[in-house]
């Protein structure tokens, strides 16, 4: 017979472990929620079927079916291979996001679905990335005793993409069905790096809390990340082993970082990659983009539509109108001043123009207006990985991108921005603004790509009419002070 003490002790231990496991699940949810990764759990676990690859398969595949030619020719779109993870549950609503940037017969890559009824998706459209079904990985899920088995399929997508053996592949870019990629910019940015070396390129989250919970040194998967061919080849050799070594790592992008770190490689940050762990109206963020080419946007169906009076999809397609003409300038911020009227004008090319009723230093205008929230609404400052400004400190008059065309002379591109209605911000005192009568902005930019990332362009205000302002973008002169 057990003594009361030992019974008590047993109960206590049981309660404690129950508490621990409840607590663990709670922490897991909380942690995942911090970065929107919970969203993927919800989508990707929706199917009843096992969602992981058949582990037998991996060990038979030979890593180099692809012909890898180490030449020094410039990197172009055919050297990039995209691995996009989706699910039967999420594909239908997300397909239009991929269609917005995918170029049939130009971009290379694959879209991975889990198992489930996909009758309604067939025949698979030629305009979408080629369909692949993730292998069954239930065995690996069991063997690894992974705390978040759902994450295994996402990690293994690297291997499944690589083993397709695309000839001449230099870079594998991994993302989700709601990662919007700006392909021309990826080509230009990756061209700066030596694809014959080991590279892991992406970005951390915008919110401090996500990085604190996961890692300041990992690429967040929704924004996407690129692995150079040699690094991808090295990782897939023992990807299953790597997954098994870290059964306690709860998110797929952190597992990838563990695997990359095992090879002695660290993250190379590209500031144009955006996980968008933000909520609400992200227009302030997109209007003060880091001085770096825009590479990706994510979570566009979680934030408010980025253009007023358009839905999320229409907004994405609308941004693509500018992206399809000149990605090199997309969201690049140019600041210029009208000294007599005391206006500061901040242009986010292809997206917005803000006119301020004061001369504000470029340093301040580079800080996003805090029109948004952190993904975790209860986050305390410091919330973001960048400085922000209060929306009511100097409320600007706001214009959003409307259209793009060639100038009549044909040697410039004209983007037109219209006054936003209703106004984007609600400030208690709403003084009249000396630019209130302006309803339209036209920005003239060169037809040549903007490749000089070390320095922004400069803008000349060419005309202020009764309701229109025209600005011409140009290369800044040597020593020119923007002020
Ligand atoms: C990309 O570059 C390769 C040489 O590395 C060339 O053979 C190929 O035609 C180029 N493709 C495109 C689409 O420019
Ligand atoms: C892609 O190329 C193939 C073969 O050249 C062609 O049959 C197909 O129609 C093309 N698809 C699209 C969407 O252009
Ligand atoms: C603008 O000009 C470029 C060539 O300079 C041409 O390819 C493009 O189709 C033109 N766009 C429009 C809208 O006319
Ligand atoms: C702005 O204020 C009005 C009236 O107080 C309110 O109805 C509206 O919801 C506010 N808009 C925003 C974006 O906060």
The closest ligand to the CA of 410 turns out to be 3
Q: How many angstroms separate the CA atoms of 20 and 25, rounded?
A: 9
74 and 144 in one domain? yes
Q: Report the predicted TM-score, pTM, of the whole model to 2 decimal places.
A: 0.88
Residue 283: phi and psi, rounded to 5, are: -60, -35
Distance set, CA 33 to CA 42, 279, 321 (Å): 11, 12, 33
Range of the domain at 467: 324-474
The verdict on the CB of residue 184 being under 6 Å from ligand 1 is no
Joined together, the tokens standing for residue 184 give 């021309």
> Are residues 150 and 70 part of one domain?
yes
Are residues 78 and 30 part of one domain? no
Q: What does the alpha-carbon distance between residue 154 and residue 3 come to, in Å, rounded to a whole number?
A: 50
Dist. CA 182–CA 203, nearest whole Å: 15
Whether 435 and 400 map to the same domain: the answer is yes
Bridge-based pairing state of the strands 171-176 and 225-228: antiparallel
> Closest Cα to atom 2, ligand 2: which residue?
105
Do residue 131 and residue 64 come from a single domain? yes
257 and 360 together in one domain: no
Contact 77 CB / ligand 1 (< 6 Å): yes
Q: Which of 186, 163, 172, 197 is nearest to 70 (CA)?
A: 197
Residue 289 in domain: no
Distance 371 CA to ligand 1 centre (A): 43
Residue nearest to atom 4 of ligand 1 (CA): 73
| Protein residue closest via CA to atom 14 of ligand 1 | 76
Tell me: the pLDDT tens digits for 45-77?
A: 444 344 444 433 333 344 444 555 667 899 999
The residue whose CA has the least distance to atom 1 of ligand 3 is 406
Buried/exposed 249-273: b ≥16 CB within 10 Å, e otherwise: bbbbbbbbbbbbbeeebebeebbbb
**Whole-number pLDDT of residue 451:** 87
206 has pLDDT over 80: yes
Ligand 4 centre distance from Cα of residue 425 (Å): 8
**Which residue shows structure tokens 């993302």?**
175
Q: Which of 70, 73, 187, 229 to probe ligand 1 with, by most ligand atoms within 8 A of CB?
A: 73
Continuous H helices in 263-407: 283-286, 312-323, 362-365
In a domain, 277, yes or no: no
The per-residue DSSP string of 200-258 comes to EEE---SBHHHHHHS-TTS--TTT-EEEEHHHHHHHHHTHHHHHHH-TT--SHHHHHHH
Using CA atoms, how far apart are residues 126 and 133, in angstroms rounded to an integer?
16
Ligand at minimal distance from the CA of 170 is: 1
Asked if residue 125 has its Cβ within 6 Å of ligand 2, the reply is no
- 365-415 pLDDT, tens digit each: 999 999 999 998 888 999 999 999 999 889 999 999 999 999 999 899 999
Q: Are residues 210 and 356 in the same domain?
A: no
H helix runs in 337-436, sequence order? 362-365
Residue at which a domain ends, from 252, 269, 286 = 269
Domain count, the chain: 3
Of ligand 2's atoms, which has the minimum distance to the CA of residue 127? 13
Q: Using an 8 Å Cβ cutoff, are 482 and 458 in contact?
A: yes
Whether residue 407 sits in one domain with residue 386: yes
Can you give the pLDDT at residue 211? 95
pLDDT confidence bin for 306, thresholds 50/70/90: very high
Per the domain annotation, does 355 fall within a domain? yes
Pocket-forming residues, ligand 3, beta carbon under 6 Å:
405-406, 447
CA distances from 251 to 147, 213, 358, 471 (A): 9, 11, 46, 46
**409 ligand 2 Cβ < 6 A:** no
CA distance 55 to 136: 7
How confident is the model over 163-174, as a mean pLDDT?
A: 97
Output the pLDDT for position 115: 87
Answer yes or no: is the C-beta of 76 below 6 A from any ligand 1 atom: yes
Atom of ligand 3 nearest to the CA of 405: 13
Structural domain contains residue 366: yes
CB of residue 106 inside a 6 A radius of ligand 2: no
Ligand nearest to the CA of 80: 1
- 7 and 44 inside one domain: no
The CA distance from 398 to 356, in Å, is 9
448 alpha carbon – ligand 1 mean position (Å): 21
Where does the pLDDT of residue 452 fall: very low under 50, low under 70, confident under 90, or very high at 90 and above?
confident
Ligand 2 and 127: CB distance under 6 A: yes
CA distances from 50 to 133, 144, 149, 153, 287 (A): 12, 15, 10, 10, 42
pLDDT at position 208, please? 96
CA 406 to ligand 3 centroid distance, Å: 6
d(CA 359, CA 345): 9
Residues 18 and 59 grouped into a single domain: no
Q: Report which of 85, 40, 113 is spatially closest to residue 302, judged by C-alpha positions.
A: 40
> Is it the case that residue 154 has pLDDT exceeding 80?
yes
311 CA to middle of ligand 4, Å? Answer: 19
Taking the CA of residue 76 as reference, the ligand 1 atom at the shortest distance is: 1
What atom of ligand 2 comes closest to residue 126's alpha carbon?
A: 13
| Both structure tokens of 340 | 């007599």
In this structure, which residue's CA is closest to atom 7 in ligand 3?
A: 325
Residue 164 has pLDDT above 50, yes or no: yes
What's the CA gap between 472 and 460, in Å, rounded? 5
Both 22 and 78 in a single domain? Answer: no
64 and 9, same domain (yes or no) = no
**E-state strands within 300-396:** 333-338, 343-348, 352-356, 372-374
Domain boundary among 224, 242, 269: 269
Check if the beta carbon of residue 275 is closer than 8 Å to that of residue 237: no
Q: What percent of the chain has pLDDT over 90?
A: 77
């Amino acid at each position: 017979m057990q003594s009361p003490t030992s019974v008590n002790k047993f109960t206590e231990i049981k309660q404690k472990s129950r508490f621990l496991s409840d607590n663990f699940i709670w922490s897991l949810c909380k942690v995942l929620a911090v970065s929107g990764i919970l969203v993927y759990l919800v989508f990707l676990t929706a199917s009843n079927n096992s969602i992981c690859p058949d582990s037998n398969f991996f060990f038979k595949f030979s890593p180099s079916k692809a012909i890898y030619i180490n030449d020094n020719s410039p990197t172009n779109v055919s050297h990039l291979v995209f691995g996009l993870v989706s699910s039967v549950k999420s594909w239908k609503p997300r397909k239009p996001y991929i269609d917005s940037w995918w170029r049939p017969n130009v971009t290379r890559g694959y879209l991975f679905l889990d198992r489930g009824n996909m009758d309604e998706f067939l025949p698979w459209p030629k305009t979408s990335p080629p369909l692949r079904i993730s292998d069954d990985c239930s065995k690996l899920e069991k063997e690894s005793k992974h705390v978040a088995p759902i994450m295994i399929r996402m990690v293994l997508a690297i291997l499944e993409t690589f083993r397709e053996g695309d000839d001449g592949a230099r870079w594998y870019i991994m993302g989700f069905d709601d990662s919007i990629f700006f392909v021309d910019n990826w080509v230009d940015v990756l061209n700066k790096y030596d694809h014959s070396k080991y590279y892991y390129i992406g970005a951390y989250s915008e919110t401090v809390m996500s990085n604190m919970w996961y890692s300041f040194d990992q690429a967040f998967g929704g924004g996407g990340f690129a692995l150079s061919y040699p690094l991808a080849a090295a990782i897939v050799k023992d990807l299953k082993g790597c997954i098994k070594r870290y059964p306690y790592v709860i998110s797929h992008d952190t597992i990838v970082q563990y695997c990359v770190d095992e090879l002695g490689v660290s993250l190379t940050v590209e500031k144009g990659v955006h996980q968008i762990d933000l909520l609400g109206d992200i227009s302030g963020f997109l209007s003060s983009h880091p001085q770096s080419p825009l590479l990706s946007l994510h979570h566009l169906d979680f934030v408010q539509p980025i253009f007023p009076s358009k839905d999320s999809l229409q907004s994405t397609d609308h941004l693509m109108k500018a992206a399809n003409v000149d990605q090199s300038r997309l969201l690049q911020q140019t600041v210029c001043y009208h000294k007599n009227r005391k206006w500061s004008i901040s242009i986010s090319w292809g997206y917005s123009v803000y006119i301020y009723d004061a001369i504000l230093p470029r340093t301040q205008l580079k800080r996003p207006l805090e029109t948004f929230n952190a993904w975790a609404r209860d986050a305390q400052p410091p919330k973001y990985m960048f400085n922000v400004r209060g929306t009511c400190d100097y409320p600007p008059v706001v214009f959003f991108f409307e259209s793009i065309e060639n100038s009549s002379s044909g040697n410039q591109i004209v983007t037109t921005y219209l006054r936003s209605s209703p106004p984007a911000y609600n400030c208690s005192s709403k003084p009249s603004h000396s630019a209130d009568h302006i309803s339209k902005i036209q920005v003239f930019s060169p037809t040549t790509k903007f490749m000089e990332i070390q320095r922004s362009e400069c803008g000349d205000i060419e005309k202020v009419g009764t309701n229109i302002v025209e600005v011409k973008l140009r290369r800044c002169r040597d020593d020119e002070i923007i002020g």
